[in-house]
Amino acid sequence: MKKRYNVVCTSDVTNDPLYAVFKRLAAVKTSGMRKGLIGTKDEILAWAAKQNEKSGGFTVPDDKKAHFSDHIIQGKYHCLEITRSEKRSENAVLFVFGGGMILDSGQASIGLSRKISKLTGADVWLPFYPLCHKHDIVENVEMVCECYRKMLEYYRPENIVFLGYSSGAALILDVITYINELNDNGTGIPMPGLLIPVSPGSVPLNEKERERMRKLDRKDVMLPASYMDVAAEIMRCGHDVPLKYIATAHGDFRNAPMTHFYYGSSEVLYAFAPIYAETFRKAGADCVIHVGKGLHHCFAVTYYIPGCRKPFNEIIGLIRSDGKNSVL
């Protein structure tokens, strides 16, 4: 019997005056980012490089709000482990940040990682994967998968949750495709216990998919629909990359664990929600599409914005081993 997927409303801000005020302010604040993602590959990469200069690169926090460990992956990349104390929990989250594969959002995600660990009691592993300025998407997938394999030394696979937002959400889904590829060749890597991709993207394969994005473009205050076609060139980085790793919505999701997608109805990437759902159905995998009506890209991790706390607490509840929501 073919498994089915459900679509549920997680939040509705269509008539929320506070959210309307936020969206007007956000349109001004994020206009620079949206403009920066419009242009040729070289123009967009040059803009992103300037943004990354401001991030300061990787550093281990020196505060006492959590315990931090730096794991070196593949001999050259960092994966920051965040725990409440020096003793590890039985549960863990592989948390992959977004940024279109070109923006270094890792340092900005440390505070959110710390909050997730505090609210769930789980350890959080934050990979600082290589960006697509000089690396292709498969190199990113391999690095994140190596982080997961390192985690398997300390946690049972069913106790590991994959959580990602934007391009990081696409990356955790690509890792599922990659694990299937490795296992088809006899590797034998177990799947994690749960997937939570927040606003995952995908490169459009045809004009129908592009048209779905274009219809949502005027509603999206952060991400232009045109970027996803340029992203295909960026993610290849001049290499021959299998299509399944850039058209992520058409990946290989056999054996995937229960997956909870989160999409805002006012983001261009919402166009891929039904495509992911159908690909999961064909793979015999279960998923739920949580839709925030009127909400923006990656709304479910911006808990401080009106209308977003409820879905964020839902995610916290999914991660928690006892299944109960924590309230901020």
- Please tell me the pTM assigned to this model: 0.95
The predicted pLDDT at position 322 comes to 43
147 pLDDT band, cuts 50/70/90, is very high
User: What domains can you pick out in the chain, each with its CATH number?
Assistant: 5-54+65-319 (3.40.50.1820)
pLDDT greater at residue 290 or residue 2: 290
Of residues 151, 202, 152, 150, the one with CA closest to residue 173: 202
Token pair, residue 141, equals 């997938």
Q: Is the pLDDT of residue 323 over 90?
A: no
Q: d(Cα 81, Cα 68) in Å, to the nearest integer?
A: 6
Least confident range from 135-139, 224-228, 296-300, 319-323: namely 319-323
The predicted pLDDT at position 57 comes to 78
The predicted pLDDT at position 165 comes to 98
325 pLDDT band, cuts 50/70/90, is very low
Buried b (16+ CB within 10 A) or exposed e, 147-177: bbebbeeebeeebbbbbbbbbbbbbbbbbbb
CB of 291 within 8 A of CB of 9? yes
Of residues 101, 61, 63, 43, the one with CA closest to residue 245: 101
Question: Which strand (E) or helix (H) includes residue 318?
Answer: helix 309-319
pLDDT > 70 in the chain, percent:
96
What pLDDT, in 10s, does the model give residues 11-25? Answer: 999 999 999 999 888
Q: Is the pLDDT of residue 125 over 80?
A: yes
The predicted pLDDT at position 127 comes to 97
86 pLDDT band, cuts 50/70/90, is confident
167 pLDDT band, cuts 50/70/90, is very high
Q: Is the pLDDT of residue 3 over 70?
A: no
Q: What does DSSP say about strands 67-73 and 92-96: parallel, antiparallel, or unpaired?
A: unpaired
Average confidence (pLDDT) over 108-114: 92
Q: Is the pLDDT of residue 52 over 60?
A: yes
What pLDDT, in 10s, does the model give residues 221-263? Answer: 999 999 999 999 999 999 999 999 999 999 999 999 999 999 9
Three-class SS state of 22: helix
What pLDDT, in 10s, does the model give residues 263-278? Answer: 999 999 999 999 999 9
Q: What is the dihedral of CA 303, 52, 151, 84, to 10 degrees?
A: -50
The predicted pLDDT at position 1 comes to 39
CB of 323 within 8 A of CB of 296? no
pLDDT > 90 in the chain, percent:
86
DSSP string, 102-137: TS--HHHHHHHHHHHHHHH--EEEEEEPPPTTTS-H
What pLDDT, in 10s, does the model give residues 185-194? Answer: 999 999 999 9
